[in-house]
Amino acid sequence: MHGATTRRGALSALLATALAAVLLAAAPAGAKQPEDVVLNVGHRGASGYAPEHTFAAYDLALRMGADYIEQDLQMTRDGVLVVLHDETLDRTARPTAESGPGDCTGLVREKTLAQIKTCDVGSWFNEAYPQYARPEYVGLKIPTLEEVFQRYRKSVNYYIETKSPEAAPGMEEELLRLMDEYGLRRPAAERWQVLIQSFSPASLQKVHALDPSLPLIQLFSGTETSETIQARLDATAAYAVGIGPSKDDVDAALVGAAHARCLDVHPYTVNESAEMEGLIATGVDGMFTNFPDRLDAVLGESAIDGRKRAAALAERANDACRGEEERGRRASNGT
């Protein structure tokens, strides 16, 4: 097991039991039931301890018990997918002796890969978080998605976001091409080795049209509420297997409504242990965190032993829900 501590305190356990009983009683046939699978997603890696979207952050997240590592995608001017959260380089990139004027500022999509590869994306972290600073973070580079796949192959689970896809035509096709090249499309479909997320319904619907077997997660911004998200769940369920709301929008009503449509719930970004315990008690199926070790400690003995097993169990539970839902639909139609 990842950790040796208990999953939650006695009060949280009582709350979880009571909530589960309510959801079980109210859920329609085929609804997703609360499962003992809570996925630990390293948000940009272990980005609370190391520079986000670097191999240092990814390696650390995996050591700390993350079931998934997250990649935010941007596309360079020459059509290469790189892993960076922001549309611009300004927040995390610093020029080096190799950089030309302007190479490490401005929009990623206006730079070539060669320009971006001159930038240092570790030094900013040492400046911002001196308590976690390490000399080896200086000079870290922005990885391409292909480099991430080359490093980890099929040994890890990937949680990939198409960022600003409307400004990067062809992003979805290039993502699927790389998944094909590294043999990840089939395990994504069969055991959720790759989850694809986006705030853009159009981007996810495009991926769904290209390959309906791939598991997709619809993100919702923090400007939404539980009620506005619930109003969009029927449309979302037509192409996605889950939702990614802000942690502040998650309540029992949203979790119940999502599960009734066989949608998993993976809120972001959850960094405090008390918040993690509360969301687990509410019935979420996973969460994004900058501190995977904290979630691992909260889950304790209930943490799934093995990343691939955790993803496969989550897929199996979702698939079982959808199968039951289909059987219920056929029964109601008399077929």
Q: What is the pLDDT of residue 328?
A: 74
Domain 10-87+143-333, CATH: 3.20.20.190
Query: From the CA atom positions of the chain, what is the Rg in Å?
Result: 20
Does the active-site annotation cover 85? yes
Q: What is the pLDDT of residue 331?
A: 73
Catalytic residue among 43, 53, 259, 266: 43
Tell me what percent of the chain is helix, strand and coil, each rounded to the nearest 5. Answer: 45, 15, 40
Does the active-site annotation cover 2? no
* 3-17, 98-112, 155-169, 302-316: least confident range: 3-17
User: Distance between CA atoms of 118 and 97, rounded to whole angstroms?
Assistant: 8
Catalytic residue among 85, 208, 259, 266: 85
- pLDDT score of 189 more than 70: yes
Q: Pick the residue with more confidence: 224 or 4? A: 224
Give residues with Cβ within 8 angstroms of 25, minimum separation 6. Answer: none
User: Distance between CA atoms of 240 and 202, rounded to whole angstroms?
Assistant: 12
Closest CA to 200 of 168, 227, 225, 228: 168
Measured over the CA atoms of residue 226, residue 228, residue 233 and residue 234, the dihedral's sign is positive
Q: Pick the residue with more confidence: 1 or 284? A: 284
Mean pLDDT of 28-57: 85
Residue 328 burial (C-beta neighbours within 10 Å; 0-12, 13-18, 19+): middle
Query: Which spans in the chain are helix H?
Result: 10-26, 55-63, 113-116, 123-128, 145-152, 171-181, 185-191, 201-210, 226-230, 233-236, 252-260, 273-282, 292-299, 307-333
Q: What is the pLDDT of residue 302?
A: 87
Q: What is the pLDDT of residue 142?
A: 98
Q: What is the pLDDT of residue 305?
A: 87
Q: What is the DSSP letter of 101?
A: T
Q: What is the pLDDT of residues 1-36, one digit of tens each?
A: 444 334 444 444 444 444 444 444 444 445 655 456
Mean pLDDT of 104-111: 98
What is the pLDDT confidence band of residue 101, given thresholds at 50, 70 and 90?
A: very high
Q: What is the pLDDT of residues 143-180, one digit of tens each?
A: 999 999 999 999 999 999 999 999 999 999 999 999 99
Mean pLDDT of 111-125: 98
List the chain domain ranges: 10-87+143-333
User: Mean pLDDT, the chain, as a whole number?
Assistant: 91
Mean pLDDT of 184-203: 98
Question: Residue 92 is encoded by which pair of tokens?
Answer: 């995390």
- pLDDT score of 243 more than 50: yes
Mean pLDDT of 58-76: 98
User: Distance between CA atoms of 305 and 291, rounded to whole angstroms?
Assistant: 18
What is the pLDDT confidence band of residue 332, given thresholds at 50, 70 and 90?
A: confident
CA triple 168-229-319, angle to 5 deg? 80
The SS3 call for residue 16 is: helix
Mean pLDDT of 128-148: 98
Q: What is the pLDDT of residue 327?
A: 73
